[in-house]
Amino acid sequence: MRFARRSLLTIAALGAVLAPTAAAQAATILSTEQAPTPVAAWHGMVMWSQLDAATGNYRLVESVDGGAPTPVAIPERAGGPFDIDLGTSRSGSAYAVYTRDGDVYSLSVASGIEAKITTLSSPTLAERDPTVQRGEIALIRRDGGFDQLRIGNTTSGSKGSRMPVKKRSIASAELGVKHVAYV
């Protein structure tokens, strides 16, 4: 009990010190969307989906350094918003990963070139919620009533992915430099 009270007082004191700093920074509203969507951010780049009310599909948009959202030149996604994540390639270049029609795609942020990652996409099963860091990609694949957390890379010598975790349900995953976390 004594520890909990001391921790709460420390958090309250820290909050009081940080409050003026947070209040001094004005919020920047990038967009107001018609439907909920995942948002990914990396070093001043933010990407998310916008619902096209006319088609019911989602287009991917980006904002750089708080600028106005602009469409990304890739095909729209049917059936829900992009499951987007931003991270880096092995060389440190910014990359986005997402799925379309159950397959994993990568997008070079600098060049705008999209590529289907055939070495990680199953020909018969659907992948979802990919995450990228240093050229490694983690994703979730559903097979036989179980979710598989799979990890692979995008190099030309890649032989697919390995499965460190298999559970009844995996809600999401996030790949870090030295670890992968999942819920």
Q: What pLDDT score does 156 carry?
A: 62
Q: What pLDDT score does 83 carry?
A: 97
Is a pLDDT exceeding 80 seen at residue 39? yes
pLDDT in tens, 154-175: 766 677 788 899 999 999 999 9
- From residue 1, give the alpha-carbon distance in Å to each of 5, 9, 10, 13, 59: 6, 12, 14, 18, 51
Q: What is the CATH number of domain 2-182?
A: 2.120.10.30
Q: Which of the pair, 53 or 19, is modelled with greater confidence?
A: 53
pLDDT in tens, 73-88: 999 999 999 999 999 9
Q: What pLDDT score does 98 carry?
A: 97
Q: What is the dihedral of CA 24, 30, 36, 40, to 10 degrees?
A: -90
pTM beyond 0.85: the answer is no
Query: Predicted confidence band at 3 (pLDDT cuts at 50, 70, 90)?
Result: very low
User: Phi-psi category of 34—alpha, beta or left, where left has phi over 0 and alpha has psi -120 to 50?
Assistant: alpha
| Amino acid (one-letter) located at 50 | Q
